[in-house]
Amino acid sequence: MRPYTRAGTTRPSVEGAASPAMPEHVPVLRAEVVDLLTTVGKRFIDGTVGAGGHAAALLDATPDAQLLGLDADPQALAVAEQRLASYGQRVRLAHGNFSDLKIIARAHGWERVDGILLDLGLSSRQLGDDARGFSFSSGGPLDLRFDPTGDRPTATELVRQWNTDELARVIWEFGEERWSRRIARAITAARPPTGAWRARDFARVAGSAVPRPGGKRRHHPATRTFQALRIAVNGELDALKTVLPQAIQLLDTGGRLAVISYHSLEDRLVKQAFRGATGACQCPPEVPVCSCGASAEVRLVTRRVVRPTAAEVQENARSRSARLRVVERLPLTSETEGHVKPPMHHEPAHS
């Protein structure tokens, strides 16, 4: 296997990431992803290679396939490197953000590919790594960055910079949390003036600001606040908006893009981007004549969103919110080649 590369960074240690105490990551909708992607060709990009579970399944299903695996997290790449070592030269790994997908693919000499997978969010390993602060019970610092080697501020730093209004807006916008103002006030009042905030202390403060209804809760009361902060810290929705048109452009005719999302904000963006790329008009309803220049680049392979079976959810609770959508690239024409869609309009959430 060719070692992963990123200008100016050193190879991270496998320690910790490969620790036996770390939970294994079980790939979500694995059979469906393999079915929908391997029918079409032999050159794949896994833009969120993580622990390499989907990547291994794709390589096993197509014995002469090659795969470029990308991840923002150097520790995840170290795990993928071990996991995928037996595939030798068929695999290359790269450290980077999928918002640079086209640049990274081209740097590896890949102008066109047959299949691209984006399995969004974080892995069970990242969640289980106490030092990263992704979990409510973590004694580690509230960090929440996928890429701790980058120059993005940590969650602790952002929470310290924002005033109550800014914090409430983030929790509302990225967490769709109805108690955002109460939570923001509680956090602002309790934040330590210096030093990192421990994730579990933050979770306790955020959670205690959420009124407790009668009966049992399904989720930790700080779930939406953590989601909001993680999205903000990593610029997750911007990265997703940026990668989707690039991924479509990288596909060869008949090539497919599969995206697994885990919450409605992601799924809404994917659905809108796919609909736009099918040539559906993006003009606002009050505009009588289409002026957005929409043209069809893809067809929908999954007309409805694909959800995990009850059996998969039973075996892997993490899969319960997963939603898979797949599009296929239509024959390339001079009109669609290199064409970037205009930004998409918002629409109400439904799947």
Ligand X SMILES: C[S@@+](CC[C@H](N)C(=O)[O-])C[C@H]1O[C@@H](n2cnc3c(N)ncnc32)[C@H](O)[C@@H]1O
* Cβ–Cβ < 8 Å for 228, 167: no
How far is it, in rounded angstroms, from Cα 286 to Cα 306?
A: 32
What is the smallest separation between the CB atom of 53 and ligand X, expressed in angstroms? Answer: 3
- For ligand X, the nearest residue by Cβ is 50
98 vs 274, beta carbon nearer ligand X: 98
What is the smallest separation between the CB atom of 33 and ligand X, expressed in angstroms? Answer: 9
What is the smallest separation between the CB atom of 289 and ligand X, expressed in angstroms? Answer: 37
Q: Provide the token pair at 234.
A: 């990593």
* One of 12, 37, 40, 54 touching ligand X (CB under 6 A): 54
> What is the contact mask toward ligand X in residues 212 to 251, using x (rule: CB under 6 A)?
---------------------------x------------
Which part of the chain contacts ligand X (CB under 6 A), choosing from 48-56, 150-158, 214-222, 266-274?
48-56
Does 271 contact ligand X by CB under 6 A?
no
What is the smallest separation between the CB atom of 126 and ligand X, expressed in angstroms? Answer: 6
152 vs 198, beta carbon nearer ligand X: 152
How many other CB atoms sit within 10 Å of the CB of residue 280?
12
Residue 30, CA atoms < 13 Å, CB-side half-sphere? 18
* One of 4, 22, 25, 142 touching ligand X (CB under 6 A): 25
Residue type at 2 in one-letter notation: R
Size of the site for ligand X (CB under 6 A): 22
Does 73 contact ligand X by CB under 6 A?
yes
Does 175 contact ligand X by CB under 6 A?
no
Does 32 contact ligand X by CB under 6 A?
no
Does 76 contact ligand X by CB under 6 A?
yes
* One of 123, 138, 227, 246 touching ligand X (CB under 6 A): 123
What is the smallest separation between the CB atom of 270 and ligand X, expressed in angstroms? Answer: 14
Does 70 contact ligand X by CB under 6 A?
yes
126 vs 225, beta carbon nearer ligand X: 126
* One of 66, 97, 316, 336 touching ligand X (CB under 6 A): 97
How far is it, in rounded angstroms, from Cα 351 to Cα 244?
A: 18
Q: Which of 145, 127, 122, 113 lies closest to 258 in space, CA to CA? A: 113
How far is it, in rounded angstroms, from Cα 75 to Cα 96?
A: 12
- Using DSSP, state whether 206 is helix, strand or coil: helix
How far is it, in rounded angstroms, from Cα 222 to Cα 214?
A: 17
* Cβ–Cβ < 8 Å for 196, 141: yes
Does 121 contact ligand X by CB under 6 A?
yes
Residue type at 146 in one-letter notation: F
What is the smallest separation between the CB atom of 119 and ligand X, expressed in angstroms? Answer: 4
Does 122 contact ligand X by CB under 6 A?
yes
Which parts of 128-147 interact with ligand X (CB under 6 A)? 146
Does 91 contact ligand X by CB under 6 A?
no
133 vs 221, beta carbon nearer ligand X: 133
How far is it, in rounded angstroms, from Cα 120 to Cα 348?
A: 21
How far is it, in rounded angstroms, from Cα 285 to Cα 268?
A: 18
Residue 208, CA atoms < 13 Å, CB-side half-sphere? 11
Q: Which of 229, 213, 236 lies closest to 168 in space, CA to CA? A: 229
Which part of the chain contacts ligand X (CB under 6 A), choosing from 92-100, 189-197, 220-228, 272-280?
92-100
The DSSP result for 272-320, as a single string, is: HHHHHHTT---S-TT-SS--S-----EEES-SS-B---HHHHHH-GGGG
Binding positions for ligand X, rule: CB under 6 A:
25, 27, 48, 50-54, 70-73, 76, 97-99, 119, 121-123, 146, 239
